[in-house]
Structure 1
Amino acid sequence: MKTISACVEELLVSQPFLEEALSRNIINYSALAEELVTPISEMLKKPVKTGAIMMALRRYNPPTDLGNSPRLKRVIKNLGDITVRSNLSDFTFQNSNTLINSHSKILEHLNTNNNIFYAFTRGILESTIIISSSQKAYVLEHFKNEKQLGVKEQLSAISISLPKGNSKITGLYYQIFKRLAWEGISLYEVVSTTNEFTVLVEDELVDKAFSVIKRLKS
């Protein structure tokens, strides 16, 4: 049988911003308990009292490294170079038996031009190509026999060099996403490699997004 404590934990885990505020003791327990009365009552299918919820909130133990880990703070402070590339286009195609052949033609073309920004991601059902907009006609020509699912232009990429061992740091990506979300910056695409992380945003948001990411290091 579900308990009030279990309901409180489920609601907090689903709202990490709220969970972090609670872990930093910057939230009013009484006000939060009042807010949670209705959802918890619905989850338990019976009325619950504010006092019982407050008790569960005070007993809740949030993750200890939700942003306060010294190791996490050290890694964020030591983030590497931040690179911005503008005038990008994002193409999405449905996966097919011939898609790789079309993609190989793009790779051959890129071998002769190192100044072109390019990223390729293959999912289960679809694949995405992010490339300098100057190459739009070239992409459309070599993918003309593929099913195009979408295209988005006027995009910019912000790439961040990550320190080695970043994959062992809990909450690193969360901290980046959190800061961007708090500033109301929506991400159009995310691409990552072992030691590099790239976010794709609309051109009008790139200055704001760059400023947010740069402030991460301070």
Structure 2
Amino acid sequence: MKTVSNCVEDILIAQPYLEEALSRNIINFSALAIELTEPISKMLKKDVKPGAIMMALRRYNPPISLSNSIKMKKVIQNLGDITVRSNLTDFTVKNSETLIDNHAQILQKINEESKLFYTFTRGIHESNIIVSSSLNDYINTHFQHETFIAVQEGLTAISISLPEDNSKIAGLYYHFFKRLAWEGVVLYEVISTTNEFTILVEEDYVDNAFLAIKRFKT
């Protein structure tokens, strides 16, 4: 049978920002308890008093903060350089039987110009090709028989190198996304390889995104 404490835990786990603020003692317990009275009453299908919720909030033991863990600190200290590439276009194309063959022609062109930016991601129903905008006409020509789902120009990629053991650290990407969200950065696309993390943003968010990642490093 669910208790008030169980409900409080479910709500806090589903809202990590709230959980973190609670663990840092920057939330008014009484005000939060009143705010949670209605949803917890609905969860338990009975009236619950704010006092019981406040007691559960005070007894709640959040997990050890990832940002304070030794492993997390080590990873953050060893983050690599930040690289910014602007003037990019993101093509979202519906998967088809001819897409791979046409994509192979794009790769030949890219191979001739090593300084071009390029990434390719294939999903179940669609694929993304992100390239330097100088290739827009070339891609439109070779993909003229493909179905474009979306095309977005004027994007900037911000990449950061990750230490080799980053894949063993729980919560690393959460901290990236949290910092960007706090800065009001809207992500257009996220690209990740084993030791590299890249976000794509529109021009309006470039400065804030760069500063957010820079602050994350420091």
Please list, as runs of the form range in 1=range in 2, the aligned pairs for 1:1-218 lying within 5 A after superposition. 1-218=1-218
Greater helix percent: which structure? 2
Would you say the 8 A contact 2:90–2:130 is kept in 1?
A: yes
3-state SS, counterpart of residue 9 of structure 1: helix
3-state SS, counterpart of residue 165 of structure 1: helix
What is the distance in 1 between the residues matched to 2:146 and 2:10? 43
* TM-score with structure 1 setting the length: 0.96
3-state SS, counterpart of residue 187 of structure 1: coil
Would you say the 8 A contact 2:187–2:200 is kept in 1?
A: yes
What is the distance in 2 between the residues matched to 1:141 and 1:11? 51
Aligned residues: 218
Which range moved further: 12-21 or 188-197? 12-21
3-state SS, counterpart of residue 67 of structure 1: helix
Deviation at 1:25, TM superposition (A): 2.1
Q: What letter matches 2:168 in structure 1?
A: K
What is the distance in 2 between the residues matched to 1:143 and 1:6? 53
Q: Deviations over 1:72-120 (max 9, x none)?
A: 1221122101000000001101111211111111111111001110011
Would you say the 8 A contact 2:91–2:128 is kept in 1?
A: yes
Q: Deviations over 1:29-68 (max 9, x none)?
A: 1111111111111222221111111121122221213322
Would you say the 8 A contact 2:66–2:72 is kept in 1?
A: no
What is the distance in 1 between the residues matched to 2:213 and 2:125? 32
Structure 2: state its 5+ residue gaps: none
Q: Deviations over 1:96-153 (max 9, x none)?
A: 1211111111111111001110011111111111111111111111111111100111
CA RMSD between the two structures: 1.1
What is the distance in 2 between the residues matched to 1:68 and 1:30? 27
* TM-score with structure 2 setting the length: 0.96
Q: What letter matches 2:173 in structure 1?
A: Y
What is the distance in 2 between the residues matched to 1:11 and 1:43? 10
Detail structure 1 runs of 4+ shifted over 4 Å in the superposition: none
